Amino acid sequence: IKKVICNDRYGMIYEKIHSKKSLGRLCHDEPENIKFFGKEFARETVILHSTKCDIPGMRNYKEYYLDLYKTKKQDKILTPKLIDLINSEIEERNTCIHGDLTVGNIIFADNKWYWIDLGRIGYGDPVFDLMTPYFSFNLLSQFRFVRDIFHMSKEQLKELWDSFIEEYARLT
């Protein structure tokens, strides 16, 4: 991926990856390997979260969530208590955040993992990234459309989350 700058706007040039499978599709096709895939997902996420972010033009996720609350766009999820926690407990960090950390946004091809759908990439505390798989794999997995999106059952999503977060915690 090459970063390009045109006037005051940032962009990226992408390359098409052939013969790829998303992590979600791999888990669906090889359910006996879900624990392994969860650990792989964690390892790649730790690498991403260990990468210093080139801040100019990137989204600051702490500011982003605080602004969402101020504009009342997410007031059902971002409660005053959660906003107080974000303000008091989450420090500013210069580490990369994917912004949409799901099993559909990491693919495997040519014996390597690749992050895709980087339109929401930014920087901040990794907790902002970890919220997405937590909610998706645990709380939202009760809904059929979520299970259909990820190509996994509720039990498989829970197994994936458990192996992912255990490995993530071990590596950080």
pLDDT tens per residue, range 37-53: 999 999 999 999 999 98
Report which residue type is found at 110.
D
pLDDT in tens, 107-132: 999 899 999 998 899 999 999 999 99
Ranges of H-type helices in 7-153: 23-29, 34-49, 61-70, 80-89, 127-134, 144-150
* Confidence label for 55 from pLDDT (cuts 50, 70 and 90): confident
Nearest to 129 by CA among 24, 8, 44: 44
**Can you point out the beta strands (E) in 116-172?**
122-123
The dihedral over CA atoms of 97, 20, 164, 51, expressed in degrees to the nearest 10, equals: -30
**HSE-up of residue 164 (Cα within 13 Å, Cβ side):** 25
pLDDT in tens, 129-166: 999 999 999 988 899 998 888 989 999 999 999 999 99
